[in-house]
Amino acid sequence: MIKFSREVSEALASKKPLVALESTIISHGLPRPRNLTVAQEVESIVRATGAVPATIAILDGEIHVGLEADELDRIANEDGVVKASTRDLAILAATKKSAATTVAATAHIAAMAGISVFATGGLGGVHRGDGFDESADLRGLSITPVVIVCAGVKSILNVEATLERLETLAVPVLGFKTNKFPGFYLTESGFEIEHRVESALEIAAIWKQRAAVNTSESAVIVTNPVKVELDRTLHDTLLKNGLAEAEAKHVTGKAVTPFLLEYFHRVSEGKSLDVNVEIIKSNSKLAAEIAIAL
């Protein structure tokens, strides 16, 4: 079911460190044409650090771990590429459709392929409001053994409820050189992290110790705060107005996050987009360092 790129196949054969990269940020998280440029830059950062990038996506119903140049271009520019979580994989395989993979699906496929480290921007989580709207990312990470580097959960979500769910699901959360849980666009969300780590080697040591204590079935979340955050006043205004516009336009379910990200990018005149790009670049570099340490 899995088609490996030439570069990833060679890395697996020679046991080189690999970093899984999601494709939803390319197809649904960043605007064209910058999405393709950023995807190429992120892969280059992983290579320059000493690891091999494995961007994951579904093309014509087939799982791809690592994308050739033309395949990366398809995910970035082809219309009709859907957003797929783990529940969609069999359906997409049977219907031969193309899709970008969410955090849950990317982590699942990475684990299938034997890749232990995964870099993304921000996790999904519990949405705001009274309804029970929770990303599949949370349960997915509770049953998928992968180190995932992120900038916390997206600040458009209910961060407190998301952290409570991660605790309930027994998913460990580490702060990379911080005791503050990051807020995606913001360096901190206002919530504390119990466990702090200072290096990729320390993260690798924790990962390797999990088998000895029989806690190796879940992911380990490594939170890496953005270095230069979005102006907080601007962020809060964008969030308030974006949520109101989403409600007025009856945007629900998995359409909410891409709608709000696009709203942030458009109304902030690209300021939030710049932060988003720096997040994925920084996380990819740290993920490569962890893969090397492992």
Is there a catalytic annotation at residue 22?
yes
Q: Which of 205, 274, 262, 211 is nearest to 238 (CA)?
A: 262
Of 154, 254, 281, 285, the catalytic one is 154
Which candidate in 22, 43, 229, 289 is catalytic?
22
Is 78 tagged catalytic? no
Give the active site residues: 22, 154
